Structure 1
Amino acid sequence: MIQIQTHSVRPGQTLAKPVLGKNGAVILATGTKLTERYIGRLKELGISAVCVHEEAASSLAAPARDTAPSFQDIHDGASLQASRAAVADTVADFIGGDAILKRLSVPLLGQRFLRIYGHMLDYVSRQPVIMEQLALLHDKDPFLFQHAMNVSAYSAIVGFANGYSESQLYELTVAALLFDIGMASVPQSLYAKSGSLTPIEKERIEAHSIEGYQRLSELEGIPYTAALCALQHHERYNGSGYPFGIKQEEIHPYAQIIGIADIYDALVSPRHHRKAYTPGEAIEYLFGSGDTLFNLSFVKLFVGHVSIYPVGSRVRLNNGQTAIIASVDPSFVQRPIVKVIQEPDGSLVLYPYELDLKDSLEVVISDIVQ
């Protein structure tokens, strides 16, 4: 084993020791065969030296680690001040709000979860360094901030269902709030582009995971796991993600949970280039991605505890009927029992009747009626 400069590493060499980030978290494990992609990412992260097997080494020099590139904040002062106020208001609304309770499909867990999650958000609201990062997200795009709030709620629910301690839930919550902070540095013209991306543009956007890691790992008062989740939230269970293409248990569990919540909320939200998927379609996608893109056990926890159709919400069926969600089976959340209140011709149902979508496979929920 020998330590060599990262810029002297050649593709094909194998790590003799793991590459560690701050606080000792593993970024690349021992035995990883280095590729051009890995070497480039290590350079971007400011990793100046690695340990490889001696027979493959070509240099003995190993200078101290370089300082990570600085994060460029390009935000107007007045606009950012308005974002700070909006963030404070939204976080306050989330604390103890009914919107969080409606996201739970297991009502018995609701009040305890709501108390713990509300307590954590209250603590977050008093941490200037975290609130400032959320203001940067809001200033970039209010939707980006709202997405972070949603991902935080979904992730906390999964962590709660997985039996995490309150300290673990706090770390997961903060990580989920800040996982996309790197997007704040993406040029606005590229961030808002609705057409197809060039390979260079795609690479620039994907760099947000590394930029987020660099920023969060440099800030006092931010759990290191938040930086790690910023780096890994686009990694996938089968190794098809980025920036390193790591897989399975190499991905931090928090990052795996956040990745699921991120995809779900992105699918059910409208985008520049498409309309929103229905929650049922998004759940079908998650199930189909179990143990390929995502850890199936985490997918099951998500599906079993996140309410995609809160009881009492109004929906439209693909046959034209309008109905109200009557009850939800946690093991089959995309096919609840609904109470039909309006027929396709617009006529109101005098005596609303129930329809179990598990037994009527030809009928699906096509839209949520606001």
Structure 2
Amino acid sequence: MTDTLPPLLLGLFRELKADGVPVGTRDYLDGVEALRLGFGQGDRAALRDLASALWGRSDEERRLIGRWFDVLPPPDGALIATIDDELDARDATTDQAIASPAAATTRPAAPTPASGGPMPGAAPGATVDTSAAQAARARVSFAATREGSGLPIPRLASAPQIGEDYVLNPQPLISPRDMAVLWRRYRRSTRHGPRTEMDLAATLRERCRRGLLCRPVCRPRRSNSARLLILADASPSMDPWRPFLATLAASLPLGRLARAELRYFNNQPRRQLYATPNLDEPEDRDEVLRRHAGAALLVVSDAGSARGALNRRRALQTADFLADARRFFPSAVWLNPMPARRWAGTTAGLIAHGPVPMLPIDAPNLLRAIDILRGTK
């Protein structure tokens, strides 16, 4: 048994991934291991049952697997017989080579590819075709950069010809659920709204004062009045952390905050902020700050540390912005996705010594950031 899935199951695995079924590397390896142990052998029905047991976690996913086996017709019997004959002939050749070790010992050593001779196993007199090996190399090009656009991201000029399949699952810095739990830690309980909750202490005082109580004393219920403005850097140097920014956007409605808004900027907050990470729908920066006056401010940016560059002008302009923002926001935190050891000697190192604390993005520092936003230093 090989260490890869047969074509039928490999095609099904790719189809499930394309349909959004959450199968990953572990599911692929489970299929290989199950086949190695003898499961799913015999006919298509056995393969179908195996795939349904391994990868079908709901009725809809099992229906997808069933349709895959129903749509694909079984292979022709003559084709199967031809493949079996070829495999039997190859096995016979292998057994003959094993049974005659003397021939193997007297065989001359094949020259290495560097010497220009044939590869091991090639026919005598044959030359090595190095075009396939050269085609497997991927050419990497860098997108053009312009002033203030950030670090250009390397991109493949052409898809490499690789004969192996890889299933890559993204690993976010923090899941939307965990991020929502962190937002719920950010609370400022206040009472406002209709008086629907009984105030026991006030009711007893009224009873003792009057001697007669017509109705209980009520008060508004407590609710979370915490407000938050997030300013996220959407420059090219922040491309590796776009999934984290998407997690921020997805988790905000789950945080049960009184009001929360996410705005984007390019490298540093200048005169305009944007509603999307593609820097669309601009709005005046000062207008956004005034609208969220009294809320907490969270800034997410590498602050130049991803490029390892030091731009003193950018640091001074950012410090001026933070000084202006402190007039509107009683608490503010800067989250930097780069580790703290990479800040020294960069623009981030200068900004980190300013009035707003800068923290790296990990679980302990995210908790600390929430505490700072709550006013707990």
More helix by share: 1
Q: TM-score, normalised by structure 1?
A: 0.21
Q: TM-score, normalised by structure 2?
A: 0.21
Which one has more relative contact order, counting CA pairs under 8 Å at least 6 apart? 1
Which of the pair has more CA radius of gyration?
Answer: 2
